[in-house]
Structure 1
Amino acid sequence: MRADKGRKASYPVLRAKITLDDGRVVKARALNEVAIKRIEKTMVADVIIDKVKLERFRGDGISVSTPTGSTAYNKSLGGAILHPTMEAMQLTEISSLNNRVYRTLGSSVIVPKKDKIEIIPKRQGVYTVSIDNKTMHYKNVSKIEYCIDNKKISFVATPFHTSFWERVRDAFIGEVDS
């Protein structure tokens, strides 16, 4: 075993802490993303990054993804593709409401590992929280905190391991003309 020259690929994991108005706390980890949505009405929430209020969001919801998750739901929302070894998270708005009265950034934000993201809903009601496609419903969410976990997930990288950029090309573009 000591002679084994096998390599491993390690990727960041997203940590989320969901605090409910009744004081309960739900903790979770995600390889891809954690999204919060309000199905029945417009979601109104303050978005705080590194203790700075970035915006008051209005729309269907917010997704926070890892670099691994950047090619999943995040990409379908118009977010950027991040190399999976980057230690960052990406905040992407879900159907934000932008007009003369309400303004949001309207763009994905890449947040470094050292910073934390807080989403503070401003309206009571039922929220849907999806953690890597496992969906739960919570009444009266007071806050969700996101950060990159100190632990990573590791996979064996075989000699036949396809590069990340080849996988992106093959998944989204296909054959490239010579």
Structure 2
Amino acid sequence: YKGLLFLTAGVIMYRCGTRNLNRLGGLGHNMKWTMVFFMIGALAIAGIPPFNGFASKLLIYESTFLFNPLLAVIAMVVSILTLASFVKVFHSMFMGPKLPEYQDVREAPKPMLIAMGILAILVVLFGIFPQQVVDILVAPAASALVDYHGYISAVLGGA
């Protein structure tokens, strides 16, 4: 989701020539796909289901709760504040009337839309099928790390 958010920010800067939220507004009228992709990324980073951020934040909440329930509550409050900040950014960029300086702004070029679309699909799929992501990507990486750690320990221990 972070990559998706960076791409949407890049599209806004590319098409509008600014990243100043105080100067942006009403872009949702002409940049509907960029707006949708930003919304997917924003909901994912805030940990809203069915996006991948929810699955990862749920794991964080569960593990933190076992360690210290207060930290889990703080983590949830931080997620709520993250959502609030992205609602503000969304509103500043995409909502409201068309501003005169962005009256003729166009949607992102097709290659940019395709890249954002691929990431948006992955954000949703990883959120719907988190166990498969763990089994296919995370477990082998963790296993390789454990094997590497054992190898290093054996080499250093034998020296």
Using structure 2 for the length normalisation, give the TM-score. Answer: 0.28
> Which structure: larger Rg?
2
Q: Whose helix fraction is larger, Structure 1's or Structure 2's? A: 2
Which structure exhibits the higher relative contact order, with contacts defined as CA atoms closer than 8 Å and separated by 6 or more residues?
2
More strand by share: 1
